[in-house]
Amino acid sequence: MVEVNVVKKNTELGNITARNISKEFTRPDGEKIIALSNLNADIKAGEFICLIGPSGCGKSTFLRLIAGLSEPNNGKIELDGQPIKSPGYERGLVFQDPTLFPWLNIHDNIAYGLKVRHVYKEKKNEVQDFIRLVGLEGFEKSYPHQLSGGMAQRASLARALVNHPKVLLLDEPLGALDAFTRMNMQDEILRVWKERGTTMVMVTHDVDEAIYLSDRVFVMTPRPAKIEEIINVNIGRNEELGRQRDSGDFLQLRSKILQILDFTGKVQQPEFFL
């Protein structure tokens, strides 16, 4: 485990509240799509939350609202009591694809946000600290095309974390990885979460992944989406942070969530940038 001062637990807040959230989109043909309707949620500082539900139900839409990339048509969403109106460095975002700048090496990709905020000069040593945190020491001068998918995603994680966000938003960040790399990255994310204490909100289609990672699982309905049920994952983590995937409690919880998803997913909706 990496020991550096900069990765000590985040002592800032990171409480998210969503009240009566509705969100509509308009197709090119003029048809209105209601993605979210009367969605309510409370996410406590330092929690790890997974959003799961049918494809196209609005999980990523909700994540974008928290990120400030879009605003709800109705309702309000707040971070620590302040309305979210636009993107901000206190909310980091990691997508399914690493979205690294191909013309920048890994060090400069991770440092990019600090340079945009004009704080790189006083914080440049932190770039190396976060490179070590995600296990990329020795690859600082490598370019994205020279890295594996898992390594590139680690760089994306470091790029989001270097700004010390209160909240880290993860939109299926492991979906494009092979099964073995995906499990390793799950442990990496848990390790970073434990060391940083950052509020984590992650979209996933993988029930096992949701149980392995999260404190609570928010099961969402088909469109127009709301939270159907909140599942508390009361399964202890071992010394290596994760949970036993073949334990009776794990399998029982997996069965429960699949039953809920079967109920909420009777009507499958086509996905439309949600």
Higher pLDDT, 273 or 162: 162
Assign 5 a pLDDT band (cuts: 50, 70, 90).
Answer: very low
Assign 47 a pLDDT band (cuts: 50, 70, 90).
Answer: very high
Whether 264 maps to a domain, the answer reads: no
Residue 246: its pLDDT value, please? 86
Q: What is the mean pLDDT of residues 48-69?
A: 92
Side-chain half-sphere of 14: how many Cα atoms within 13 Å? Answer: 26
Higher pLDDT, 218 or 270: 218
State the burial class of residue 154 (Cβ atoms within 10 Å of its Cβ: 0-12, 13-18, 19+): buried
pLDDT in tens, 109-124: 999 989 999 998 888 8
Assign 219 a pLDDT band (cuts: 50, 70, 90).
Answer: very high
Whether 127 maps to a domain, the answer reads: yes
Domain that holds residue 244: 5-251
Residue 36: its pLDDT value, please? 93
Q: Output the CA torsion 27→16→256→251 (10° steps).
A: 120
Query: What is the domain-level CATH number for residue 111?
Result: 3.40.50.300
Q: Is 105 helix (H, G, I), strand (E, B) or coil?
A: coil
Higher pLDDT, 188 or 49: 49
Is 7 a residue whose pLDDT tops 60? no
Whether 256 maps to a domain, the answer reads: no
Higher pLDDT, 136 or 177: 136
Is 18 a residue whose pLDDT tops 90? yes
Give the number of domains in the chain: 1
Predicted TM-score (pTM) above 0.75: yes
